[in-house]
Amino acid sequence: MPADLLVVGLGNPGREYAGTRHNVGADVVETLARRHGVTLARSKRERASVGEVRIAGRRVALAVPLTYMNESGLAVAPLAKHLAVDPTDIVVVHDELDLEPAVLRVKAGGGLAGHNGLRSIVQHLHSDAFLRVRIGVGKPPSKERGADHVLSRQPKREREAMAVTVEEAADAVECIVTDGVDAAMNRYNTRG
């Protein structure tokens, strides 16, 4: 059954990755599910935990891939096909090294910024036209420490700021659904 929008929160599966910088996208989708009283259910066929909510009368599918980050496209492409959504009707929520910690930005299309999850999605969708809700996690001390940086938990002060940003990112997704991506960019890209 077709959806109006597919919202995908990127992260790695497993308890050991919960609360890491790399999983903030998954945290946002789980926040949206909680807000709307939905439990995400594991779907082996789709290789994701999925749920459906209605926002302003629109059918919105929520998904957190069960694949590792660098294979996100293996979950997103079959979901898009099953839900009959075009890439422009997909919102990918993900961590972003190029933004300061807890900074939120909304973007339509664009480059990969070295993000392996986005790279996998582009490879499997054959398009980069999806929308992005980007959450800053800051730069690692060196390029070689990038994986350690995104797979580690944040210090307390950063974690508190990130909790606020996760809620704001969920608001931004709802804004995309109700008012469109341009309104969301105007509202959220002018902050911090």
**How far is it, in rounded angstroms, from Cα 89 to Cα 81?**
12
**How far is it, in rounded angstroms, from Cα 159 to Cα 37?**
25
| Neighbour order of strands in the sheet with 58-65 | 41-43, 48-55, 58-65, 5-9, 90-96, 131-136, 104-108
Catalytic-labelled residue, pool 22, 94, 115, 149: 22
Smallest CA-to-CA distance from 172 within 88, 51, 91 is with 91
Determine whether 94 is an active site residue. no
Amino acid identity of residue 67, one-letter, is: T
Catalytic residue ranges: 22
